[in-house]
Amino acid sequence: MEPGLLPTGKERILLVDDDETQVISIQNMLQRLGYKVTASTDGREALKVFSEKPSEFDLVITDHMMPQLMGENLAQEMLRIRSDIPIILCTGKVDLVPDEEVKEKGLRGYIVKPFGVRECAELVRGVLNKEEEMKRRNF
């Protein structure tokens, strides 16, 4: 990729964060990169949306610390429904989520808030590219 260009995509992303300001900011960022984003400020509602149409999403991005349903627990429930859904965890503290723990929980990555558009774009595209490569290898 040429310097200055951001990776983009057209995939469908489910974004979950209890902070409405964060949701609006991240949703706008992802949409400018070309992604179709369904956003929720409630983990339980996001789980309901996902469980009704799990094949409608290519990626989930969820906040770590949320009331009622923590991001890790939301991720586990979603993985029970669809074991191949790639999930990225957002956190305000890097020490909360060691790399080994992320992988053990079936998550594909994490990003520390606040983050910029380049960091987000590269992580999302990197995770989606890895998923596409894994699917090609399995066929």
Domain ranges of the chain: 12-138
pLDDT tens profile 100-134: 666 667 789 889 999 999 999 999 999 999 988 88
* pTM, rounded to two decimals: 0.91
Choose among 88, 136, 83, 82: nearest CA to 108: 88
Residues 96 and 105: their CA atoms lie apart, in Å, by 13
Q: What is the pLDDT of residue 99?
A: 64
pLDDT digits (tens, 9 = 90+) for 34-91: 999 999 999 999 999 999 999 999 999 999 989 889 998 999 999 999 999 999 999 8
To which CATH superfamily is domain 12-138 assigned?
A: Response regulator (3.40.50.2300)
Average confidence (pLDDT) over 8-31: 97
